[in-house]
């Protein structure tokens, strides 16, 4: 039942919305992973980011795809939790960790070990629209724990214009999706983070986007 709902949600509702209301310009689509395990990392400006990234993959991969999302934000009520968990299909993690807690990334490691594909927004939250923030370190820990899993950076532009943080009115814009080469784990967290930030900046520069002020 829930998986059928999920198929309808992504396969019909989201796809037609992305196709008609938004419209995507995808560059380097061939760089997308064709199966799991894989980690997709992207900059984060809008709730639409997840929806658009999910729509890039063929529907047969849908059962494997899970956006990693903050438990404190997406699981506030029972009904909402049911929706985010079963229909959106998030993998919830804790944003703040108290002493003595388990590794907050353990659910991600487990999912990757099972061959799932995770969508991660390492900026932590949706920032100011159309501004690239530096990534938080959790993604390096995740890469370190799963050195064989490809980490594919994706730069998103335009979704923060269509539906920025704090807005409920969707305004149509064409959006740019620029997919990068997978980044292999190199053995050291700080240099890995630098490389990832660098890669995202390069992707952003592939398009020429006017500032949005």
Residues that bind another protein (CB under 8 A): 23, 25, 129, 158, 161, 164, 167, 169, 171-175, 208, 210-213
Cβ closest to another protein, residue 27 vs residue 86: 27
| C-alpha pair distances (Å), 65 with each of 18, 39, 125 | 18, 10, 20
In the complex, what is the shortest distance from the CB of residue 12 to another protein, in angstroms, rounded to a whole number? Answer: 19
Between CA 12 and CA 137, with CA 113 as vertex, the angle to 5 degrees is: 85
In the complex, what is the shortest distance from the CB of residue 61 to another protein, in angstroms, rounded to a whole number? Answer: 24
For residue 111, which of 145, 77, 159 has the smallest C-alpha distance?
A: 145
In the complex, what is the shortest distance from the CB of residue 20 to another protein, in angstroms, rounded to a whole number? Answer: 9
In the complex, what is the shortest distance from the CB of residue 130 to another protein, in angstroms, rounded to a whole number? Answer: 8
Cβ closest to another protein, residue 106 vs residue 171: 171
DSSP structure string for 46-72: BTHHHHHHHHTS-GGGGGGEEEEEEHH
Cβ closest to another protein, residue 77 vs residue 208: 208
> At residue 52, what are phi and psi to the nearest 5 degrees?
-70, -45
Unique residue bearing structure tokens 């809008």: 46
Cβ closest to another protein, residue 137 vs residue 172: 172
């Amino acid at each position: 039942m829930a998986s059928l709902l999920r198929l309808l949600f992504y396969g019909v509702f989201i796809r037609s919305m992305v196709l008609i209301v938004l419209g995507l310009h995808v560059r380097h689509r061939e760089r997308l992973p064709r199966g799991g395990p894989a980690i997709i990392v992207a900059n984060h400006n809008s709730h639409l980011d997840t929806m658009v990234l999910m729509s890039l993959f063929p529907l047969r991969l849908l059962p494997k795809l899970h956006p990693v999302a903050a438990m404190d934000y997406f699981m506030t009520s029972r009904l909402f939790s049911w929706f985010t968990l079963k229909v959106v299909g998030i993998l919830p993690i804790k944003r703040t960790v108290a002493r003595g807690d388990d590794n907050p990334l353990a659910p991600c490691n487990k999912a990757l070990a099972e061959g799932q594909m995770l969508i991660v927004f390492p900026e932590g939250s949706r920032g100011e629209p159309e501004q690239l923030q530096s990534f938080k370190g959790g993604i390096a820990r995740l890469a370190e724990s799963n050195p064989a899993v490809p980490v594919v950076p994706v730069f998103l532009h335009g979704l923060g214009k269509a539906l920025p943080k704090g807005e409920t009115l969707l305004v149509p814009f064409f959006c740019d999706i620029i997919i990068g080469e997978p980044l292999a784990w190199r053995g050291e967290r700080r240099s890995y983070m630098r490389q990832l930030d660098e890669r995202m900046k390069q992707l952003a520069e592939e398009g020429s986007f006017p500032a949005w002020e």
